């Protein structure tokens, strides 16, 4: 049965690069269908129109890095029936979570002419550290087809098909030759959640871990293999400390190798 | 495929290397799409080919656990390399396949016609199928064409023309001799080739395995093999058998593995295993799939897809309340026990043909033959010692 009233969708931005929101805009064909299926009530990146809440589905991009945002996210939560965190920033703190390993004051003193104007928290944290999140869509940036899948699933009251297994599964389904085995190229695919379609191995690059840890990440064993392939502890610490540096499994593995 | 008499198989023919293309051409003329080995990104994969020149001519590979290296030599052998990561199962049991699509209709739904062409069944000629892969095909036949035949598999299986190739350069990861599957193709092919490359000659000793094979050979220049040519080919195959390095003692495995369910060795494997699933996906006999239902944004259209799955994923054994095999240890144990024990209960055969793919393509060098040996050794040690007093850890 066709739905009588269109569900209201809102897109919110916190500390992020906008790349994930752009994934939604990048959905050209699908976007028309999205616009048809939902009322885009709040999406500053795409439209100036803004409707009052409550919203049926809120997509939240970005991490929490300021006091102000730590309060704002509660307002967003209160105004949203379903809250979906999108992208590495919103689900693990993002690349800016690298500050979590250092003293942020040192950075501000070096980068800004008047550091006292900078109000920032000492850590960049994911949305789920602050409010209840209904679903986390991983990726840096997210995969637009997965985004459409998640929106479709919520609109149709079904479970999204977003598997938590490794990138290797997608890599093999695609028939891509394994870069670890065939070329000795270090790859984070075996400990990284699928979702990108094994994009980097397709271009003969190792996986960078953009989708964060898979559901059973044996990072220790993979690190041992990387070492046997000639990678130094420094290389390992770097590999685990990128877009999902603060995700539990990657954070712990990174800590182990930082010397 | 009708069986030919013994006599036929004992009088092989010779196709000179320069006439090999004629076989490709006549297969194409008969309406077959040809698929076979070819090089992509430094690896021998299986893909569509039309010309003999698209084969990995002159390539040699070296394989060890967790390593594959392909190099180009000055040689001119068509089949001088071993198995790559792809297996023929991708054509009979595609990695992704839409099962059906439906549309909402008058408060209910109607199954819509499938408009995709990429999964259409078509006459397919498989070029360069090795002996262990023929055995794998026979195993998958039991899985997919048993009591509940899979329509796609069955339809595609009936439209295959199989050109087998006897192995003369086994990889260090091969153990077909332990599993009685190679290196010589024993049956299940239309034509079987043994490539003989001498200083001044290059020919394919050709054995006919079916009426279709005999008919196809008619379209290719050929002549009966001399006794010397046959002997030369035979020597190459027996030498290959002697060069197989790995082995697996399968005796008693069917009972041993379930009886070893509590073996501490599973923990040792779990410390290394990434649960990445690579071993199951490269295995030519693994047959597990998952089904995904999707809807579009409007909720008016739905599709059901079947995708390759692996017992190494958490979702594989997910039932209400959680995953039955939450630990990696239980997943590796499932894989090994299924392959070498419970498979026999299900299909009357082992689920392993000794192709060695899972050994080469495991990113952390886990070797099925070593793990079996370790479990056997542990069991032997326990039975020798105070094992008698211990209760059998049958789970
Ligand atoms: S290339 Fe990377 S993602 Fe692909 S199978 Fe190998 S390890 Fe896994
Ligand atoms: S279990 Fe390993 S060696 Fe045996 S058939 Fe499968 S991939 Fe080949
Ligand atoms: S070993 Fe695992 S993936 Fe392979 S057939 Fe058995 S259950 Fe399926
Ligand atoms: S045995 Fe190797 S290939 Fe198989 S799941 Fe474990 S790490 Fe992956």
Q: Mean pLDDT in runs of 10 for chain A (259 residues)?
A: 74 93 82 80 74 88 96 95 97 95 86 85 96 98 94 91 97 98 98 97 97 96 97 97 97 92
Q: Are residues B199 and B258 in the same domain?
A: no
- Could you give the residue range(s) of every CATH 3.40.50.700 domain in chain A? 8-155
In this structure, is residue B302 part of a structural domain?
A: no
In this structure, is residue B301 part of a structural domain?
A: no
Q: What pLDDT, on a 0 to 100 scale, did the predictor assign at position A24?
A: 83
Residue to mutate, B139, B140, B282, B287, ligand 3, most ligand atoms under 8 Å from C-beta: B287
Question: How many CA atoms within 13 Å lie on the side-chain side of B138?
Answer: 18
DSSP-derived 3-state class of residue A95: helix
Q: Which of A37, A164, A168, A189 to mutate to test the interface with B (most CBs of B within 10 A)?
A: A168
Q: Are B137 and B186 in contact (CB under 8 A)?
A: no
Residue B52 lies in domain: 13-94+118-242
Q: How far is the CA of A68 from the centre of ligand 1 (A)?
A: 41
DSSP string for A178-243: PHHHHH-----GGGBB--S-SHHHHTT-----TT-B-SS--HHHHHHHHHHTT--HHHHHHHHSST
Q: Are residues B375 and B271 in the same domain?
A: yes
Q: Are residues B43 and B186 in the same domain?
A: yes
Question: What is the tally of structural domains in chain B?
Answer: 2
Domain end call among B197, B222, B242: B242
- From first CA to last CA, the distance across chain A in angstroms is 60
- Ligand (nearest to CA of B350): 2
Q: Are residues B264 and B217 in the same domain?
A: no
Say if ligand 1 is within 6 A of residue A178 CB.
yes
DSSP lists the bridge partners of residue B44 as B39
Q: What is the pLDDT of residues B312-365, one digit of tens each?
A: 999 999 988 899 999 999 999 999 999 999 999 999 999 999 999 999 999 999
DSSP B164: E
Q: What is the pLDDT of residues B157-215, one digit of tens each?
A: 999 999 999 999 999 999 999 999 999 999 999 999 999 999 999 999 999 999 999 99
Q: Which of B274, B284, B302 to mutate to test the interface with A (most CBs of A within 10 A)?
A: B274
* Interface touch B95/A172, C-beta < 8 Å: yes
Q: What is the pLDDT of residues B33-51, one digit of tens each?
A: 999 999 999 999 999 999 9
Q: What pLDDT, on a 0 to 100 scale, did the predictor assign at position B242?
A: 97
Comparing C-alpha atoms, which of A216, A196, A217 is closest to residue A206?
A196
In this structure, is residue B300 part of a structural domain?
A: no
Q: Are residues B263 and B154 in the same domain?
A: no
List chain A residues with CB under 8 Å of B293: 158, 161
CB neighbours (10 Å) of residue A96? 22
Q: Are residues B84 and B216 in the same domain?
A: yes
Query: Which residue's structure tokens are 């060890």?
Result: B64
Q: Are residues B36 and B145 in the same domain?
A: yes
Q: How far is CA B214 from CA A207, B9, B190, in A?
A: 49, 11, 8
List chain B residues with CB under 8 Å of A168: 274, 276-278, 281, 363
Q: What is the pLDDT of residues B190-203, one digit of tens each?
A: 999 999 999 999 99
Taking all residues of chain B, what is their mean pLDDT, rounded to a whole number? 93
For A8-155, CATH gives 3.40.50.700
Q: Are residues B238 and B264 in the same domain?
A: no
Q: Are residues B277 and B226 in the same domain?
A: no
Kindly state whether B310 is in contact with chain A, defined as any CB-CB distance less than 8 angstroms.
yes
ipTM confidence score: 0.93
* Interface touch A172/B273, C-beta < 8 Å: no
Q: What pLDDT, on a 0 to 100 scale, did the predictor assign at position B10?
A: 65
pLDDT band at B7 (very low <50, low <70, confident <90, very high): very low
Ligand 1, atom 5, residue with closest C-alpha: A168
Q: Are residues B341 and B271 in the same domain?
A: yes
In this structure, is residue B8 part of a structural domain?
A: no
In this structure, is residue B160 part of a structural domain?
A: yes
* Interface touch B85/A177, C-beta < 8 Å: yes
Q: Are residues B137 and B234 in the same domain?
A: yes
In this structure, is residue B175 part of a structural domain?
A: yes
In this structure, is residue B103 part of a structural domain?
A: no
Both tokens of A259, joined, read: 């010397």
Q: Are residues B141 and B290 in the same domain?
A: no
Is B393's pLDDT higher than 50?
no
CB neighbours (10 Å) of residue B71? 11
């Amino acid at each position: 049965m066709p739905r009588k009233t269109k569900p209201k969708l809102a897109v919110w931005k916190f500390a992020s690069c906008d790349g994930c929101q752009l994934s939604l805009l990048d959905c050209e064909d699908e976007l028309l269908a999205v616009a048809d299926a939902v009322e885009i009530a709040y999406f500053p990146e795409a439209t100036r129109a803004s409707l009052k809440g409550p919203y049926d589905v809120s997509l939240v991009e970005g991490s929490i890095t300021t006091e102000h945002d730590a309060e704002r996210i509660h307002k967003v939560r209160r105004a949203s029936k379903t809250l979906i965190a999108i992208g590495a920033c919103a689900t693990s703190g993002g690349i800016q979570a690298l500050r979590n390993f250092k003293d942020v004051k040192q950075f501000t003193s070096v980068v800004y002419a008047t550091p006292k104007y900078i109000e920032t928290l000492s850590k960049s944290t994911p949305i789920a550290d602050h409010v209840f999140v209904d679903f986390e869509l991983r990726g840096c940036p997210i995969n637009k087809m997965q985004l459409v899948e998640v929106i479709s699933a919520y609109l149709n009251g079904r479970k999204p098909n977003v598997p938590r297994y490794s990138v290797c599964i997608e890599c093999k389904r695609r028939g891509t030759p394994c870069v670890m085995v065939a070329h000795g190229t270090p790859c984070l695919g075996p400990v990284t959640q699928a979702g990108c379609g094994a994009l980097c191995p397709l271009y003969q690059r190792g996986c960078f871990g953009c989708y964060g840890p898979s559901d059973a990440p044996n990072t220790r064993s993979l690190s041992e293999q990387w070492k046997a392939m000639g990678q130094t502890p420094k290389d390992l610490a770097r590999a685990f400390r990128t877009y999902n540096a603060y995700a539990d499994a990657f954070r712990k593995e990174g800590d182990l190798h930082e010397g | 495929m009708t069986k030919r008499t013994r006599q036929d198989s004992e009088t092989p023919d010779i196709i000179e290397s320069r006439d090999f293309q004629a076989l490709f051409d006549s297969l194409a003329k008969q309406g077959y799409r040809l698929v076979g080995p070819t090089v992509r990104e430094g690896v021998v994969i299986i893909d569509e080919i039309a010309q003999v020149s698209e084969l990995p001519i002159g390539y040699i590979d070296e394989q060890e656990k967790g390593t594959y290296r392909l190099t180009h030599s000055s040689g001119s052998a068509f089949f001088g390399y071993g198995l790559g990561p792809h297996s023929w199962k991708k054509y009979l049991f595609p990695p992704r396949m839409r099962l059906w699509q439906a549309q909402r209709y008058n408060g209910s739904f109607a199954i819509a016609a499938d408009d995709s062409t990429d999964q259409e069944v078509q006459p397919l000629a498989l070029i360069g199928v090795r002996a262990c892969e023929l055995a794998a095909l026979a195993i998958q036949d039991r899985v997919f064409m048993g009591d509940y035949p899979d329509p796609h598999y069955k339809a595609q299986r009936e439209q295959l023309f199989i050109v087998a190739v006897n192995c003369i350069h086994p990889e260090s990861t091969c153990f077909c001799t332990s599993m009685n599957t190679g290196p010589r193709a024993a049956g299940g092919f239309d034509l079987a080739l043994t490539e003989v490359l001498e200083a001044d000659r290059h020919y394919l000793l050709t054995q006919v395995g079916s009426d279709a094979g005999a008919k196809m050979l008619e379209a290719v220049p050929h002549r009966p093999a001399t006794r010397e040519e046959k002997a030369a080919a035979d020597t190459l195959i027996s030498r290959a058998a002697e060069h197989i390095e790995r082995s697996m003692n399968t005796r008693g495995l069917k009972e041993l593995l379930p009886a070893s369910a509590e073996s501490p060795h599973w923990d040792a494997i779990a410390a290394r295993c990434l649960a990445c699933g690579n071993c199951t996906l490269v295995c030519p006999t693994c047959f597990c799939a998952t089904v995904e239902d999707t809807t579009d944004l409007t909720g008016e259209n739905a599709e059901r897809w079947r995708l390759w799955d692996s017992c190494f994923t958490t979702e594989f054994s997910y039932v209400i309340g959680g995953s039955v095999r939450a630990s990696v240890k239980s997943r590796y144990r499932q894989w090994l026990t299924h392959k070498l024990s419970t498979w026999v209960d299900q299909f009357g055969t082992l689920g392993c043909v000794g192709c060695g793919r899972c050994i080469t393509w495991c990113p952390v060098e886990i070797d099925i033959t070593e793990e079996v040996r370790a479990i056997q050794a542990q069991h032997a040690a326990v039975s020798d010692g105070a094992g008698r007093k211990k209760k059998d850890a049958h789970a």
